[in-house]
């Protein structure tokens, strides 16, 4: 639901919420490969509508290249962001 929580709270008659987005960062293979897994699952749909994946090179080696680039650069990659929202209902 993510950022839509802002409007959802208000639609439910609550005050606009305070919101926060957290993004985990790491360099482990699980973190590095999630974007490849998302692209792989969406690949048939992406290929139907555009040639956008061609810019990534050989798709079959993408996962190996991602792992190699993250390891070689000694960096971290972002994982899926988590959005949280909360509010206080004013006392009656």
Q: What is the DSSP string of 2-29?
A: GGGHHHHHHHTTPPPPEEEEEEEEE-SH
Is pLDDT above 90 for 39?
no
Answer yes or no: is 91 within a domain: no
Answer yes or no: is 73 within a domain: yes
pTM of the model: 0.65
Count structural domains, the chain: 1
Which structural domain, as residue segments, surrounds residue 54? 2-86
State residue 79's pLDDT score.
Answer: 85
Is pLDDT above 90 for 71?
yes
Is pLDDT above 90 for 17?
yes
pLDDT-based confidence at residue 22 (cuts at 50, 70, 90): very high
Instruction: Write the CB contacts of 81 (distance below 8 Å, at least 6 apart in sequence).
Output: 2, 21, 22, 23
């Amino acid at each position: 639901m993510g950022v839509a929580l802002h409007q959802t709270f208000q639609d439910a008659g609550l005050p606009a919420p305070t919101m926060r987005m957290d993004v985990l960062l790491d360099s482990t293979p699980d973190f590095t490969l999630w974007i490849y897994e998302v692209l792989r699952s969406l690949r048939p749909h992406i290929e139907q509508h555009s040639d956008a994946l061609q810019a990534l090179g050989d798709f079959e080696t993408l996962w190996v290249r991602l792992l190699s680039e993250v390891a070689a650069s000694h960096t971290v990659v972002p994982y899926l962001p988590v959005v949280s929202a909360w509010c206080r209902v004013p006392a009656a």
